Amino acid sequence: MPELPDVEVFKRYLDSTSLHHRITDVQIQSSQVLGDVSEQDLRADLKGHEFECTKRHGKYLFTGLDSGRWLVLHFGMTGNPKYFKDMDQEPQYDRLLFSFANGYHLAYQSRRKLGEVALLDDLQAFVEGKELGPDVLDESFDLQAFKKVLQGHRGMVKSALMNQQLMAGIGNVYSDEILFQAGIHPRTKVNQLDDEQLGEIFKGMKEVLNMAIDRQADPQQFPDTYIIPHRHQGGTCPCCGAEVRRVKVSGRSAYYCPNRQGEP
DNA sequence: CCTATAGCCTGACGGC
DNA sequence: TGCCGTCAGGCTATAG
């Protein structure tokens, strides 16, 4: 689930639910999701403290504690936060559970446990350590910056969009949507794109991601000109009705419309 | 520098 | 119903 729009929706969800409550308890149902941090350290760092603010970089969500430290939340392919009151609403795949003084709980849910939770002192150092590129929705990431990042890149355009070291936030699903909107085949080589195509991709990128955030990252609310609700075997292009095709790019499934995006 | 592959984990889904 | 293969919105290490 979690690409940039999903994580941004998670961020706003935490902002409206989980800030400024004293953390009274931390339960660790599955320590596999803990990265560098031990169970003891996680408890010690959170208990008695509260979340003050949140930040996001690409697909990473950070919650700032009143101690000055940060809890990093990454959700892998299947995960989300869930705020709830009664334990009978506890989500099925919660791996961590934070309890607040107001009686509510925040669960870190992750079915496949591919995500990771850790504690940090320095956000900047974390981003640099992971060698993450700029967040694609950051205002400073404009067309010029986009072109610069792709300058000299020789790979396929879908791979480049998904490469978190080049730019952070886009994953498998949204890269398909961006390229569908731009009318460009996912296997197109970056160095074969002309200026106009780069402009189309950039524009599609900002539009698609902002639209998705506006619609709560819920595909059911997406415009009917979007391919996302149709990107599965047997799906049809919302514009021309052609059956969507699937090819492998960087080991992931790319879906595209052969009419709109052509064949390489 | 770039691609493909496997692995990490736990399912959901379709076919027989 | 059960078993099996395939696929799944991420990331990393490895080999070529």
How does pLDDT run across A40-97, given as a tens digit for each residue?
A: 999 999 999 999 999 999 999 999 999 999 999 999 999 999 999 999 999 999 999 9
The residue among A252, A32, A64 whose CA lies nearest residue A162 is A252
Query: Which pLDDT belongs to residue A264?
Result: 73
Return d(Cα A169, Cα A110) in angstroms, integer: 19
Protein CB footprint (7 Å) on chain B nucleotides: 1-11
* pLDDT, position A52: 98
State residue A263's pLDDT score. 87
Encoding tokens for residue A104?
């509510």
Phi-psi group of A58: left, alpha or beta (phi > 0 → left; psi -120 to 50 → alpha; rest → beta): left
CA of A222 to C1' of B15 (A): 32
| Rounded CA separation A26/A152 (Å) | 47
Q: How far is CA A146 from the centre of its chain?
A: 19
What confidence score (pLDDT) does residue A262 get? 95
Q: Which of residues 173-212 of A touch strand C (CB under 7 A)?
A: 173
pLDDT of residue A36: 87
pLDDT given at position A37: 93
Residue range A107-112: mean pLDDT, rounded: 97
- Give the nearest nucleotide to A157, CA to C1': B2
The answer to whether A82 CB is within 7 Å of strand C is: no
Closest-lying nucleotide for A164 based on CA to C1': C11
Q: What is the mean pLDDT of chain A?
A: 97
Distance A251 CA to C13 C1' (A): 15
Q: What is the pLDDT of residue A16?
A: 98
A250 CA, C12 C1': Å apart:
14
Statement: residue A190 has pLDDT above 80: yes
The residue that minimises its CA distance to C1' of C9 is A1
Residue A26 has pLDDT above 90, yes or no: yes
Q: Are A90 and A107 in contact (CB under 8 A)?
A: yes
Binned at pLDDT 50, 70 and 90, residue A145 comes out as: very high
Q: What would the mean pLDDT of A96-100 be, rounded to a whole number?
A: 98
Per-residue pLDDT, A172 = 97
Res A238: pLDDT: 96
- State yes or no: pLDDT of A1 exceeds 90: no
